[in-house]
Structure 1
Amino acid sequence: MASFSVFPFHVGEISNERVKLTPFNPEQHCETFFRISSSHPEIYTHLPLLPPTSATELESLFYSNSTTHILSFSNPESFAFAIIDKTRPPSPEDPEGELAGTVSFIRTSLTNLCTEIGFIVILPPYQRTHVATNAVGLALRLAFACTENGGLGLRRVHWSASTMNLASSRLAQRMGFEKVGVIPWHMRFVKGKINGKVGNGRELPPGSDPEDLWRDTLSLTLAWDRWENGAREMAAEAMER
């Protein structure tokens, strides 16, 4: 279960009247997540992961011994949440609503008091609704809230998006993130052309496998002072729409 996580912060649930973030429990959430996502492989288009072939395979990623995989409970930099849409009826996955997707804290540093919001997957039935903005907004509130109030007390939250994934970068900016710059040739999608990935649209470097693709990444950031001076209200406004 999620309690096996070695994430260095104590993390519980956070919610509002529309959405809840709860620690991802593979036994409770993987079956439904896989069932809905398996017919929509395009949700993995910009991610450095291939669609799992079964709920068991998805579950195994969380219980992997890897200390670097973004979903592994053995990775001290990552923590995964299930997103619950509280406007839907109770479900086997949660008594307060339906499983609508997942979002994670990744690349978290206890020393530098920072994290990145990543592996955001909103399942297709819940896309273009209130779910994405509320999930990200709740994650930001948790990240920036002081530890005395149950938050992580972080000073900076990062966001990375493929330059071809305009929906991701627009969401980040709606929530108060600012563009920092573009990292060219940031991520290689091995055999990306046959695995449903989208590249940067540029000619491959000399000597490349012709089936590979590369991702350029837009880097965005939100620091504590911007959060305290307008971004918190900006995020709240987006969440209310």
Structure 2
Amino acid sequence: MASLSIFPFHVGETSNERVKLTPLNPEQHCETFFRISSSHPEIYTHLPLLPPTSATELKSLFYSNSTTHILSFSNPESFAFAIIDKTRPPSPEDPEGELAGTVSFIRTSPTNLCTEIGFIVILPPYQRTHVATNAVGLALRLAFESAENGGLGLRRVHWSASTMNLASSRLAQRMGFEKVGVIPWHMRFVKGKINGKVGNGRELPSGSDPEDLWRDTLSLSLAWDRWENGAREMAAKAMER
């Protein structure tokens, strides 16, 4: 199936010996992603999404006509990858290994030559392995590599993490990202208390719905000059572990 994405850059597969990023195909990848993730709603704790109730609902997020939803193929700023763990046996999802999660380029600007690595979800059986560092490292290489060499030729990659999601911010820093600052009261989780979300731990503003939660967001960034002057090697070292 050809990609339905209208992403402004040509993007294909990228891989190393242990992990492959391949354009996400809802018909090929969503059934397994839902089957594994449905018993782990905590995956969505820090995300501005609720766990889908079915594989069909998950597919609908990608097939949506929304030009702003971060997963929609109709959003020109986003491009979704399936993460394949090549150290596992061939599977119905991929002849080179098993589906281990997803990662996306979001909020991409061809004018400003920047993107954000977002919606990175490593399925529980593949957490605390080589998968996360290699998936992020491959995404960074693709982002910063020149167009002549098959990359996007970008100048900056952004990363956003809830201040309560230490695993996310630590992963970003291991891969070479630097902290920029904290955006307070960045995201409102409507009915977050009953939807399994984690807030910023602060008293709600006056007049708030008592079931709401708010997320403070740590902003991190990695620019081309830092990438070329040490961060590339830093990411490579993390990928080898």
Structure 1 residue 47, shift from structure 2 partner: 0.1
Is the contact made by 1:2 and 1:26 (CA closer than 8 Å) also made in structure 2? Answer: no
* 2:25 is the alignment partner of 1:25: yes
Instruction: State the distance in 1 between where 2:50 and 2:196 align.
Output: 9
Structure 2 segments unaligned to the other structure (5+ residues): none
Provide runs of 4+ in structure 1 moved above 2 Å.
none
Q: Deviations over 1:153-182 (max 9, x none)?
A: 000000000000000000000000000000
Q: Deviations over 1:44-103 (max 9, x none)?
A: 000000000000000000000000001100000000000000000000000000000000
Structure 1 residue 3, shift from structure 2 partner: 1.4
Equivalent position SS for 1:36: helix
Alignment identity in percent?
95
Structure 1 residue 2, shift from structure 2 partner: 5.6
Give the aligned partner of residue 10 of structure 1. Answer: 10
Instruction: State the distance in 2 between where 1:194 and 1:2 align.
Output: 39
Is the contact made by 1:103 and 1:119 (CA closer than 8 Å) also made in structure 2? Answer: yes
Give the aligned partner of residue 172 of structure 2. Answer: 172
Instruction: State the distance in 2 between where 1:195 and 1:152 align.
Output: 37
Instruction: State the distance in 2 between where 1:2 and 1:144 align.
Output: 25
Give the aligned partner of residue 36 of structure 1. Answer: 36
Q: Deviations over 1:114-169 (max 9, x none)?
A: 00000000000000000000000000000000000000000000000000000000
Q: Number of residue pairs matched? A: 241
Instruction: State the distance in 2 between where 1:208 and 1:110 align.
Output: 38
Structure 1 residue 29, shift from structure 2 partner: 0.1
Equivalent position SS for 1:20: strand
Q: CA RMSD in A?
A: 0.5
Instruction: State the distance in 2 between where 1:25 and 1:67 align.
Output: 18
Structure 1 residue 106, shift from structure 2 partner: 0.2
Instruction: State the distance in 2 between where 1:87 and 1:124 align.
Output: 16
* 2:48 is the alignment partner of 1:48: yes
Give the aligned partner of residue 78 of structure 1. Answer: 78
Q: Deviations over 1:192-213 (max 9, x none)?
A: 0000000000000000000000
Equivalent position SS for 2:217: strand
Is the contact made by 1:2 and 1:73 (CA closer than 8 Å) also made in structure 2? Answer: no
Equivalent position SS for 1:22: strand
Structure 1 segments unaligned to the other structure (5+ residues): none
Is the contact made by 1:161 and 1:218 (CA closer than 8 Å) also made in structure 2? Answer: yes
Is the contact made by 1:7 and 1:76 (CA closer than 8 Å) also made in structure 2? Answer: yes
Give the aligned partner of residue 106 of structure 1. Answer: 106
Is the contact made by 1:2 and 1:24 (CA closer than 8 Å) also made in structure 2? Answer: no
Equivalent position SS for 2:3: helix
Structure 1 residue 4, shift from structure 2 partner: 1.1
Is the contact made by 1:188 and 1:214 (CA closer than 8 Å) also made in structure 2? Answer: yes
Instruction: State the distance in 2 between where 1:32 and 1:44 align.
Output: 17
TM-score, normalised on structure 1?
A: 0.99
Give the aligned partner of residue 214 of structure 2. Answer: 214
Instruction: State the distance in 1 between where 2:218 and 2:89 align.
Output: 37
Instruction: State the distance in 2 between where 1:165 and 1:116 align.
Output: 17
Instruction: State the distance in 2 between where 1:197 and 1:85 align.
Output: 28
Instruction: State the distance in 2 between where 1:71 and 1:162 align.
Output: 19
Instruction: State the distance in 1 between where 2:66 and 2:208 align.
Output: 28
